[in-house]
Amino acid sequence: MPMPRPETPSTALGKTKDLIKHGCERIEQTIKASGSRLCSYAERVAFLMDRSKNPDNSPQPPTPTDNINLGPSANPNAKPTDFDFLKVIGKGSFGKVLLAKRKSDGMSYAVKVLQKKSILKKKEQTHIMAERNVLLKNVKHPFLVGLHYSFQTSEKLYFVLDYVNGGELFFHLQRERCFREPRARFYAAEVASAVGYLHSLNIIYRDLKPENILLDCQGHIVLTDFGLCKEGMEPEETTSTFCGTPEYLAPEVLRKQPYDRTVDWWCLGAVLYEMLFGLPPFYSRDVSQMYDNILHQPLQIQGTKTMAACDILQGLLHKDQKRRLGAKMDFSGPADLRHFDPEFTQEAVSNSITRTPDLAASCSSASDAFLGFSYAPTDEDFQVFK
């Protein structure tokens, strides 16, 4: 009996592509079948179907590649065999995110595994390094995912990240269509805190969308995926790289004009709008029409939303970036007193500090007047700074 011929690489690759195609078709069928449960109108179903078609690269036979300089690692001896990889919990253009348990201590992590060949082929090393650099600065903020360490093999890069198991915000929107206003407000406030922290580090995020917002086990948001971040952005500095996700692009990005950190506030407005209404604010299946809507159509706010919700949406989604909510700094420094009443700030400081002649202490000894306060004799020669 003749032995079966082994599959050639091209045959195996063809089968893999067929599997991917059939998988996408099954996702579309699931969304169509669940349309009445997922949302109450066809546009949301179409929106979900479009998202399911977001193409990833077809897998290629692995070949050794040059090392990518990831800089110093907190665990220079780390290797893939340190972990038991349990489940795939996310996918992207260059690889996957897996739930992994570290063998040495049983701790759970989300390990992002990226194909070096795909990164080098598309010349995306800069974005990968930007993500690592930003992750290293994020460890102290509760609403930003933390990087524990990174390492690489001849074929892949590994980012060992916090495991956040509440799922993507997009998943919850997909299931519930939209959120009640208190819930949307809660998420938006935490996202604003995370984005504001990045801005304080002179980093703009540039890709805020529900897929990049995770929920932890206590219901708080965790911002992840920093590949499109731009570092070194001073408050008044601009950049002009065309990047982001179509539904959330700010008008100035579409016009290919220089833009600043206010693009993140536009994106926050778009995400908040989607949480409240089920679709991004200017959405159309026709991308050209959607871009035209973003550039020229007024914001439509339907339904019975509070005045506060309408106001913040109008402010965040202002087409003029200079007038957008978040465009002006709240404070220019510690000496910025614009938020205090001028009646106080115009008063002479010396009148508040020096000895008041017509008032005498009611205690025989000033040092015993208030327990817990150290006593300093009045110094007539102190200097008042103006």
Annotated binding site for ATP: which residue ranges?
121
Is residue 365 classed exposed, middle or buried when 0-12, 13-18 and 19+ CB atoms within 10 A define those classes? exposed
Alpha helices (runs of H) in the chain, residue ranges in sequence order: 9-33, 35-38, 42-52, 116-121, 125-137, 169-176, 181-200, 251-254, 262-277, 287-296, 307-316, 342-345, 350-353
Instruction: Mark the binding-site residues, compressed into ranges.
Output: 121
Token representation of residue 253? 């990005």
Q: Which of 244, 234, 288 is nearest to 270 (CA)?
A: 244
Q: Is 74 helix (H, G, I), strand (E, B) or coil?
A: coil
End-to-end CA separation in angstroms for the chain: 100
> Which among 292, 289, 265, 290 has a CA at the least distance from the CA of 280?
290
Chain position carrying tokens 């959330």: 248
Phi, psi dihedrals of residue 339, rounded to the nearest 5°:
-95, 10
Task: Single out the residue of 264, 252, 257, 254 nearest to residue 226, CA to CA.
Answer: 264
Q: Rounded CA gap, 157 and 116, in Å?
A: 6
CA atoms within 13 A on the CB side of 97: 20
Residues 144-161, buried b or exposed e (16+ Cβ, 10 A)? Answer: bbbbbbbbbeeebbbbbb
- CA distance readout (Å), 150 to 90, 146, 158: 18, 12, 5
Residue ranges in 64-158 assigned as alpha helix (H):
116-121, 125-137
Token pair in block for residue 251: 């008008």
- Of 165, 146, 147, 148, nearest to 216 by C-alpha is 165
Active-site entry in 162, 207, 225, 260? 207
- Whether 207 is catalytic is yes
Identify the burial level of 244 via C-beta atoms within 10 angstroms of its C-beta, where 0-12 means exposed, 13-18 middle and 19 or more buried: buried
Which residues are marked as active site? 207
